Each structure stands twice: as C-alpha cells, then as structure tokens.
Structure 1
Amino acid sequence: MKYNIPKSTYPFIAILILLFLVELFAPRPIDWTQNFNADDKRPFGSYLIMDLMKEELFPNKEIEVQSVPVFNYPREELILPPKNYIYITNSLDMKDWDVDRLIKLAEEGNQIFIAASSISFALADTLGISITPTVLFENLKKTKRIQSFENRKIAYKKTYKFEKAFDMISIDQFHKDSIVVLGRDQEKNIQFVKKKFGKGNVFFSCQPLAFTNYNVLADNNADYIAGAFSYLPNNAVVWDEYYKPTRLLRTSSPIRYLLTHPPLKLGIYLLLICLIFLLIFQGKRQERIVPVVKPLRNTSLDFIQTLGTLYYTRKNHKDIAVKKFKYFKEYIRSRYHIDFKRNNIKELSSRSGLPEKTLLMLLEQSSSIESLTHLTQEGLEDFHSKIEYIYKNCN
C-alpha cells in the first residue's frame, strides 16, 4: 500500500528527528540536588560514604538501613549491643517523641552521629545548642571553607578545604559545661560538637555536605570524614534513610522509575515518536471487508419439536396431564384472580360464564388422574379436550 505523505509534514518530521538526536547525544548536566541517599552516586549523595564505611571505617560490621522514624525502631534496639546511629541530611526534623527515643538510645550506650544544617526545635533544645547562619557581606565572595579538628591526635595542625560543598552556618550558643567542641572552621566558628547522654554520646556537625560523594573525592576531605567517624567505636552501624530531603518525592510509580534511568527514558521517547509517526501514516480510514451477518434462527419450533419427541418417546401421559392442569390453574388464577378449587366453582362459573357441572367434572377428573399410576392415551385426549373447551368458551 502506498502512502502519500504531505510535503508540509517534512519540517515537522525533521524537527522530531533532530530533537531525538540532540537528546541522545547531548552531555548530561551535573545534578547538584542535595539528597544524601545511600544509593545515590550524584555529588551530594552518600554512595561513596557507604563504601568507605564498609571497607575502611567499620570493616566487617553490619550496616543496617532504616527507612522509618526513630520512634518506630524496634524496641529490641534498647537492649541489643551498642550501635552507631548515623543521620546525614540537610534538615533533621524530628518530633518530640522521636527525640526522646533517640536520647534513650544514647543513654543505653549507643553512639548518635548527626550531620545537618538545620534541626528541629525539640532536638536543638535537648542538645542545648543553637545553629546560626554566618552569611555576612565579607563571606559572600568566599568559595571555600576550611575545617579542622580540636583533637591533635586526629590531625595535628591539619586543615581540610571544602569548595562549593559547605553551608554558611555555625553552632553559636551551647552549654559549655556539657558540650565538648570537636571542630571549628578557619574563623574559629564551632562546627562539630559532642554531648554525653548516659552511657553514650551524641555527635553533631552542622556541615552535612562534608559527608557526601563530592567531598570523598575532593582533595583530602575523605580524611576529614574518617576523622569525624573516628570518634565512633567499631560497632555495627544503623544508617538513616528516612530523614532525607527527597523522602516526600520518593514513589513507586513505574513512570518515575523509567524516567530516572537514561536508557529507559530514551526508550520512552522513542516509543512516543513511533506513536506519532503511526498516527501520521495510519491515521486515514482504511476500508474493511463487511462480514455477512446471518439472521437469527427461530429456535422456538426446534424446542417444541424436541419436547414433543421427548414426551412421545417416554409416553408418560400422566405427567403431561398434570402439567397441562397446572398451566390451566395458572391461567384461571391470572385471568379471574381466583384459585381453581371446589369451594370456588360457583364464583368461577359466574365470572367465566361456564356451567358449574363442566368445571366440577374437570376438577374431579384431574383428581382421579393424580391418583392413577398410569394414564392411557385416550384418557389424556379426553382430559385435553375438556381443558380446550374451557379455553374456547370462557368469557
């Protein structure tokens, strides 16, 4: 079959092909979304952090991923051997009951490590700290931030440069008697602290971007991550995936899954382009063979013939007589609204115009037929003729 493609559609088709090629070969821009997810390989994901913990920081230790709030952790966590609970996100929004459960974990000997640029009021009040932005006019032109540890055993006079991946904030107010300062920036602003709760500790850093893929690969910043985690014992790790910034955007939608993988996304685009071409080339109406529709067969006669053959073969005259009388009584009931009984004979006679003797004779004959075990063909014909007489002569 030949297709006549209008010349006016040529530019449209060429543009579609060009867009497809551009999408196919165009370089992918870097996605700087702050997600901190353990399986994300983008700059601000935590895929390399997980590898670093498994291979070097906590070797041969189980790393459990939790995707529920702290309050929903199993109650057994309070009596199990101590673990390291790690929370890395841009905003750690914990409710009061979550904070209470977190502190109980620390009091039982667990170590809590938090890296967040903002925290809920309940958590800040419990830790006794205040996070303050340091966005001053003299800091606007700065493209890097220097971090260092207070403990000389970790890194004596060693600094770490963070370019792009840092937040202009610091820990401003805190209780000096209960909080230990662990790290500062180049302006002596406090960045990393520790507070003891019972048998455990809560470590807090206000620079979550320092613990991302970008800084694992940048300069010697991986040593800073190792130094911060060196305060934690070599215990099993519980990694949080619930308090991440992209938690509300996560979905199990198949479409979102397809669009987040470049090969599958390209396949979707190719399918849409093929559908457009199909609409263009197959859009016109095509003639089809009109099928021959046979008229519906009247099966009533076949049904009657089948029943007649059945009764003729069985020769059960009594059954036929009983059924005919049953249909006759239904006919009387529906037409005269009265049952065909002996005490109704007089009233039925007045309504139908038939003699009482004829109706009474039919009623007595039906009673005698029901008492018989076998009815002859002559008896059936006689009974049938009486019923037909009433059908024809009733008013």
Structure 2
Amino acid sequence: MRREFPIILVVVILIIFGAFALGIKRTKTIDWEESFNENSTKPYGLSVFYKELPYLFKEHEIRTVYHQPQSYLAANSEDGWGDHVAKGNYIKIGNSDYLTPLSVDELLNFVSNGNTLFISDYYFAEEIHDTLGIHIGFEHNPNKDSISKLSFTNKSLNFTEIDKNDGDYYFTDYDSIYTTVLGHVKTDKKRTNFIHTSFGKGSIYLHLEPKVFTNYNLLKDNRHQYVESLLSYLPDNDVYLDSYSKYQSGYDSDVEQESNLSWFLDQLAFRWAWYTALIFGILFMIFNAKRRQRIIKIVRPLQNTTVAFVKTISNLYFETKDYKNLIDKKITYFFEKIRTDYNLNTNELNDVFISKLAAKSGKKKKDVKTLINYIKLIQSKRAYFEGNLVTLNKHIENFYS
C-alpha cells in the first residue's frame, strides 16, 4: 500500500487540477450561422420566437411539425389517419428549399381548403415560384453599417431595421392582379419584400427576411414589434410551425446533442458537488480494486436437451396435423430397428417375414401379424387421420412392451 500511495496522490492532484481547469470561464466564439432552429439559443436560432408563439396566438394550439408536409397534412386531413384535422396557419421560417413537389402540392391543397400559409425565407421551393409566378432578386447592401430598413404598406404598423445584413432579397416579379404588396425593404431603393396572394379559399403570405424572427433581432431594441405586426396578418387560429428541415439538414446539431449536465456545470455549487463526487468515486475504485476477490464465474454443465428437442419436433408435426409425415416416419423408424436388432430384410412383408420376426422377437405370431397387416393397410391409404396414427402407435408400443 505504501508503494501505491505516491501514485494515488499524483492521480488526486491531477484530478483536482483538471477540475480547476474546467471551472475556468472560457471565451466562447459566437456562432452566427443561420440555423433557424426553434431549439437553438444562438443569435440566429428561433428559441425566443418559439417560446413566444403561445402568447401571440392565445387559446390556440401550437403544434411543431417534424415531418414533410406531404405526410403530416395528408395524415391529419379529413380522410387521414392522424389524431386531428389540420386547420389554421402553417408557418415556415427559413430552409424552405427542402420542400418536395408533393409537399408543395399538399401545402397548396391545405391553403385552398381555407387555411393560411406563411413562409419567411430568401428563396422558396421552385414549385411555389412557378405556381404563383414570382421571381426574386438580390441587392447588395452598399452601406458600411449593413443596415436594412423594413416597413409595411400600412403606415400604422411598426417598422424596424436590421443590422449585419449584407444585402436584401426582394420580389422582382409577381402577379399584380391577385397579389397585394404588404411590406418593403429599403437600402438605396424601396423594394417589395412582403406580399399576400389568395389561393382557393385560403391565403399565402411570402416574406423575404427570415432573420427578423431570430433571437438576436427579437431581443434587440423594439424589433419584436415588427414580428408582431407581421403575424397580425394571420388569422387567429391554430399554428403549425414547420421544423422538418432542421432535423434533416444537420443545422445547429450541437443544440440537439447538448446534454442537460451542461446547465449544472454552469452553476458553481453544482459544479463542485459534481467534481467532488467524481473524485471520491475514483478514489473509492482505486482503494477497493485489490481488496475484493474477483467474481468466480459459475460454469454450468451442458444440459441434455434431446428430450425437449424431440417433444418440440413432435408437437410441431402434431399441431400442423401432418399425420402422413408422422406415420411414414414411425414406420421407417420401426423397420430400421427391426433390421438393426434382428437382422431381417423388411422389403417383403410376407408370412415368412412374420414368422422370422415372431421367432426372433419372442412375440406371438398373431400379434406380429396384426401389426404388419396394419402397416401394409395404412401404407395403401391415400388419406390419413389422427385415429390411424394413434392405432399405429398403439400396435408398435405393444410390440416393444
């Protein structure tokens, strides 16, 4: 034990030093990736927006959609197999290019039945562009401060501005007859970035600046008022927030993989409680490693499973009612035993064979003749029943007894 003490002491010191090293606050690099993930707390995540949705649509259900609209809306339709009928507002923030043609068709069908589709993204699925006849352009932001100003056609609604914006996306072409311009973006020129179009019995709202929904912009100044004005165009109804793309495209994967332990490690008291428990746990294992006898493995003898195997096979045949197979096997086994035990040829089952078998086995000739005649009778049959098998087995058992 004295020889091991220095080693144990070094291990303890290293553990304590590592605990101090982990406790030092490290400078974190801010990730400005635009994930648009409703679980992400990064600047361009949507966790704040996701938490505020229930307050914006009070007394209405907020559902998060983790599947392609094609499958989700089809399942939750009037003829579907889902747990409810999907009605209300379908909201998609960023990453809308993942939508398949079938999903776009399902979304348009959802809208045509009197519902609402709201998408805020830089580009949309190609089928949406083709169906609505829209085209999108991009203008680089010439200002050094990279600030874009966003406003509404309705002057009573709140306008805003966003920074860290390299450029602006805007609608270059749309059907002016069926489309209503609701908002603009301005750098050097005022351009359309928010439109509404009717489709069937419902409405489609397309917006070209998804960053306004992110944590960074919602928590800065009064920019949240612009988002409230945007969503004020939507009917007061249930909300379906699309989240499928985040789980498929791999954005912000560290948010999904982050464990709940990280929160505890951020709290000083919990952190040291955890480290103390870890240190004592390691010490306990070190001191008890050589004090305990190794577990002696119990070697169990091999079991004779022949009887169980035979029962299983016989039950299998019997349950399937394959009487012919069982009868053939029983007769074959009986003749094999006759050939082995009494050295008799079983090809011809005549009186000579019966006499020899009776003499060698010590059985009455009458009983042997009854058995052989029944075997010949049953071999001539085409159909077999349970009674045939039982009778054959009874004759053979009488011969062996």
If the length of structure 1 is used for normalisation, what is the TM-score?
0.61
| Closer/same/farther in 2, CA of residues 89 and 17 from structure 1, 3 Å limit | farther
1:378-393 correspondence runs (5 A): none
> In structure 2, what is the Cα distance between the partners aligned to 1:98 and 1:331?
72
1:209-228 correspondence runs (5 A): 209-228=211-230
In the alignment, structure 1 residue 196 sits paired with structure 2 residue 198: yes
| Closer/same/farther in 2, CA of residues 145 and 283 from structure 1, 3 Å limit | farther
Corresponding position of 1:36: 36
Q: What SS does the aligned partner of 2:198 have?
A: strand
> In structure 2, what is the Cα distance between the partners aligned to 1:81 and 1:343?
87
Deviation for aligned residue 1:261: 4.6
RMSD: 4.8
1:148-227 correspondence runs (5 A): 148-155=151-158, 159-164=159-164, 166=165, 168-177=167-176, 178-187=178-187, 188-227=190-229
> In structure 1, what is the Cα distance between the partners aligned to 2:147 and 2:64?
32
In the alignment, structure 1 residue 105 sits paired with structure 2 residue 110: yes
In the alignment, structure 1 residue 48 sits paired with structure 2 residue 80: no
Q: Which amino acid aligns with 2:170?
A: I
Deviation for aligned residue 1:222: 0.8
Deviation for aligned residue 1:285: 8.0
Deviation for aligned residue 1:202: 1.1
1:286-301 correspondence runs (5 A): none
Structure 1 contact 132–171 (Cα < 8 Å) conserved: yes
Corresponding position of 2:150: 147
Structure 1 contact 215–222 (Cα < 8 Å) conserved: yes
> In structure 1, what is the Cα distance between the partners aligned to 2:46 and 2:243?
11
> In structure 2, what is the Cα distance between the partners aligned to 1:227 and 1:330?
94
Q: Which amino acid aligns with 1:237?
A: V
Q: What SS does the aligned partner of 2:234 have?
A: coil
What count of residue pairs does the alignment treat as equivalent? 309
| Closer/same/farther in 2, CA of residues 284 and 261 from structure 1, 3 Å limit | closer
| Closer/same/farther in 2, CA of residues 125 and 212 from structure 1, 3 Å limit | same
1:214-363 correspondence runs (5 A): 214-243=216-245, 245-249=246-250, 259=259, 261-263=261-263, 281=286, 334=340, 337-338=343-344, 343=352
Corresponding position of 1:60: 59
Deviation for aligned residue 1:247: 3.4
> In structure 2, what is the Cα distance between the partners aligned to 1:281 and 1:151?
73
Question: What CA deviation, in whole Å up to 9, does each residue of 1:295-318 have, x standing for no partner?
Answer: x9xxxxxxxxxxxxxxxxxxxxxx
> In structure 1, what is the Cα distance between the partners aligned to 2:67 and 2:295?
62
> In structure 2, what is the Cα distance between the partners aligned to 1:131 and 1:275?
63
Structure 1 contact 77–105 (Cα < 8 Å) conserved: no
Q: What SS does the aligned partner of 2:236 have?
A: coil
Q: What SS does the aligned partner of 1:262 have?
A: helix
> In structure 2, what is the Cα distance between the partners aligned to 1:229 and 1:288?
69
> In structure 2, what is the Cα distance between the partners aligned to 1:61 and 1:214?
26
Q: What SS does the aligned partner of 1:105 have?
A: helix
> In structure 2, what is the Cα distance between the partners aligned to 1:22 and 1:180?
59
Q: What SS does the aligned partner of 1:97 have?
A: helix
Q: What SS does the aligned partner of 2:99 have?
A: coil
Q: What SS does the aligned partner of 2:229 have?
A: helix
Higher Cα Rg, which structure: 1
Deviation for aligned residue 1:126: 2.2
> In structure 2, what is the Cα distance between the partners aligned to 1:49 and 1:287?
57
Deviation for aligned residue 1:132: 3.0
Corresponding position of 2:317: none
| Closer/same/farther in 2, CA of residues 226 and 287 from structure 1, 3 Å limit | closer
> In structure 2, what is the Cα distance between the partners aligned to 1:18 and 1:104?
62
Q: What SS does the aligned partner of 2:212 have?
A: helix
> In structure 1, what is the Cα distance between the partners aligned to 2:112 and 2:354?
100
Question: What CA deviation, in whole Å up to 9, does each residue of 1:7-44 have, x standing for no partner?
Answer: 6994x875554344333442573554433343444433
Corresponding position of 1:115: 120
Question: What CA deviation, in whole Å up to 9, does each residue of 1:46-77 have, x standing for no partner?
Answer: 3322343322x322222222222222212239
Q: What SS does the aligned partner of 1:239 have?
A: strand
Q: Which amino acid aligns with 2:59?
A: N
> In structure 2, what is the Cα distance between the partners aligned to 1:33 and 1:120?
21
Structure 2 contact 134–174 (Cα < 8 Å) conserved: yes
Q: Which amino acid aligns with 1:93?
A: Y
Corresponding position of 1:135: 140
Structure 1 contact 92–119 (Cα < 8 Å) conserved: yes
> In structure 1, what is the Cα distance between the partners aligned to 2:40 and 2:49?
10
If the length of structure 2 is used for normalisation, what is the TM-score?
0.60
Deviation for aligned residue 1:363: 5.7
> In structure 2, what is the Cα distance between the partners aligned to 1:214 and 1:53?
17
> In structure 2, what is the Cα distance between the partners aligned to 1:105 and 1:39?
26
